[in-house]
Structure 1
Amino acid sequence: MAALDLQEQEQLDTIKAWWKDNGNKVLGAVLIVVVAMGGWRGWQYYQNKQAAEAATLYAEFVKQMESNDAKRINDAAAAVMDKYASTAYASRAALLAAQVNENTKDVARAKTQLQWTLDHAGEATQKDVARLRLAAILLDEKAYDAAMKLLNAVHPDSFNGLYADLKGDVLSAQGKTDEARTAYKLAYEKTDAKSMYRNLIQMKLDALGAAK
């Protein structure tokens, strides 16, 4: 039994190391898809003059995103956020700029942009994405209680898998193995069977080993 426990611990350490290096990138990629889909719908809904102007400024932000220049991206995002804070384009720009800042290790700026989205976004989906990204950062900072507070917020059923998975990460980091296992199982059940993300959840479940 001792040998089995050692094997499980080694597997768990391997998964934790991999997830520490890649987990946020995987989750970030999933959430960017959600934001992008919302952006496509947003173009159809805003027809008034202010929205048209916001869309034009957002298009400039998208252009700057392609430059991979963090300063230019942040400046363009700030322009949309400052001038058209009430539109969906502003919170969308904040979310995408935050992802760039996370990738470049400017975590403080990313947190500010994510919190701005929580405070200003009119679309529930954008708030949910911001909440998940901010919780992931807080997890990295070992601010477990603050992360869990965000993850306990009311959210639509379509986000159940993502919320439960991140809860599992927080609980696992705290050494609460049984609770983490329960969270991962829920995440697995709530994630589309065809999604590659489901395989990652299974990996984390396997790493925890069977319940004692």
Structure 2
Amino acid sequence: MAFDVYDDYEQGERVQQWLRKNGVSILVGIALGLALIFGWQQWKSHRAGHEQAAAGEYSALQAAAATNKTSESDVRTETLMKEYSDTAWAVFAASERAQRSVMAGQFDKAAGDLDWAQAHAKDDTLKSLVSLRFAQLKYAQGKPQEALTALDSFPGKGFSASTQELRGDVLVKLGRQDDARKAYQAAIAAMGDSAPQRGVVQTKLDDLAVAGKQGA
């Protein structure tokens, strides 16, 4: 029993000595660990709020664009690009304004937005979207060969229906009707049965068939 008591006493003394030597570093380590955990939770909370705010701004942008409020659309796009440049919503906003600029014939403005979007696109989906917009810009500028080159270097497999339809349009411009027909067929195959654009692409395909019969 005496030895047991001594062993317990000696063990306690050794523990206390060890704590005196290492206690400060242990406490510092615990404090740092808690700080990291707290900091990580705070960062996640901030990030979630940041993304939510960007999504709200983008939703308001879409509503403005749908009602042709050009000034408001531009302001909200600029806000997303300046204050939320690290989110996908900013890339979507810049890409969509570029598309509207192409439709308005403002090619330089569209190119500027696409350059910005390309520099901030972080994943394959966003990169594919920007590449599609670049190809649409080249086609609208009357540069079908450059548009085809952009489509040939398309990253990822996203937006297949839109890219194949555009490829068909480009190939028609280049006089490659057989290849255009294959592209339109691929576009239709990539669409759902109820896709709004399905009828448009089918019409383009039918027009090619009529042109082929007339040229035979």
Please state which band the TM-score falls in when normalised by the shorter chain: 0.5 to 0.7
CA deviation after TM superposition for structure 1 residue 101, in Å: 3.1
**Cross-structure match for 1:179:** 179
**Cross-structure match for 2:24:** none
**Cross-structure match for 2:56:** 59
Q: Which amino acid aligns with 2:50?
A: E
CA deviation after TM superposition for structure 1 residue 172, in Å: 0.2
CA distance in 2, matches of 1:142, 1:105: 12
CA deviation after TM superposition for structure 1 residue 112, in Å: 1.8
CA distance in 2, matches of 1:100, 1:144: 19
Map of 1:61-140 to 2, 5 A cutoff? 62-67=59-64, 68-140=68-140
Further displaced range: 108-117 or 58-67? 58-67
CA distance in 2, matches of 1:146, 1:77: 28
Change in Cα spacing, 1:59 to 1:134, as seen in structure 2 (3 Å) is same
Q: Which amino acid aligns with 2:155?
A: V
Further displaced range: 191-200 or 161-170? 191-200
Q: What whole-Å deviation, never above 9, does each CA across 1:31-72 have from its counterpart, x for those lacking one?
A: xxxxxxxxxxxxxxx954245235425534543554433233
Q: What whole-Å deviation, never above 9, does each CA across 1:180-200 have from its counterpart, x for those lacking one?
A: 122222222222233232222
Structure 2 portions without partners, runs of 5+: 1-42
Q: What whole-Å deviation, never above 9, does each CA across 1:140-186 have from its counterpart, x for those lacking one?
A: 21112221122111322x53222121111001011121221222222
Instruction: Please tell me the root mean square deviation across aligned C-alpha atoms, in Å.
Output: 2.7
CA distance in 2, matches of 1:122, 1:73: 24
Change in Cα spacing, 1:66 to 1:189, as seen in structure 2 (3 Å) is closer
CA contact under 8 A between 2:61 and 2:77: conserved in structure 1? no
Q: Which has the higher contact order (CA 8 A, sep 6+)?
A: 1
TM-score (norm 1): 0.65
Secondary structure of the residue that 2:197 maps to in structure 1?
helix
CA contact under 8 A between 1:88 and 1:121: conserved in structure 2? yes
**Cross-structure match for 1:163:** 163
CA contact under 8 A between 2:107 and 2:141: conserved in structure 1? no
Q: What whole-Å deviation, never above 9, does each CA across 1:48-104 have from its counterpart, x for those lacking one?
A: 424523542553454355443323322332232123322212212212333443454
**Cross-structure match for 2:40:** none
**Cross-structure match for 2:204:** 204
Structure 1 portions without partners, runs of 5+: 1-45
TM-score (norm 2): 0.64
How many correspondences in the alignment? 166
Change in Cα spacing, 1:189 to 1:89, as seen in structure 2 (3 Å) is closer
CA distance in 1, matches of 2:75, 2:124: 25
**Cross-structure match for 1:193:** 193
Map of 1:12-51 to 2, 5 A cutoff? 47-50=44-47
**Cross-structure match for 1:154:** 155
